[in-house]
Amino acid sequence: MKSIAITLMALIFSNAVLADAEKDIDYRKATFKIVGGHMKSMGTILKGRMHQSDLKLHADGIRAMSTIVPKVFPEGSGDGKTGALPAIWEKPAEFKIVLNKFVAAANEMAEAADSGEMSAIGPAIKKLGGSCKGCHDNFRASD
């Protein structure tokens, strides 16, 4: 009887952990959808030379989201329907370096957008895109 109770508790606990992981994954996906939306909007603005007054808004949005991104990879959120590779949790120091580059590039992009100077905006968005690519190349499964 005691072993049945222990087994049931283990099942209940593991299901709760799995449910939390799924919630973490959903939140992470939503967060990156916002980041991607800001990136796409900025690219559209810069390529089309349109809605340029909105560039600062999107750059500030990415800067704000960059403060959340490092928090959306909690331990145990790699199992499930996610493109996050196990390397995120297996190589945390390397992953932190990549995240820090993203945060720095997001800040730089926001500062460049604040300046309104295309000579600063072009290199800043290129650096930001490179920081995204650096993570995607090593820590995200390709689609």
User: pLDDT under 70 in the chain at which residues?
Assistant: 1-19, 143
Token pair listed for 121: 């905006």
Q: What pLDDT was estimated at residue 40?
A: 97
pTM across the whole model: 0.84
For tokens 């690219």, name the residue. Answer: 43
With CA atoms as reference, report the closest residue to 70 among 40, 28, 133, 38: 28
Q: State the CATH number of the domain containing residue 51.
A: 1.20.120.10
Domain span at residue 113 reads 2-139
**Maximum Cα–Cα distance across the chain:** 73
- Domain total in the chain: 1
Query: Cβ neighbours of residue 90 under 8 Å, at least 6 residues apart?
Result: none
Q: What pLDDT was estimated at residue 2?
A: 61
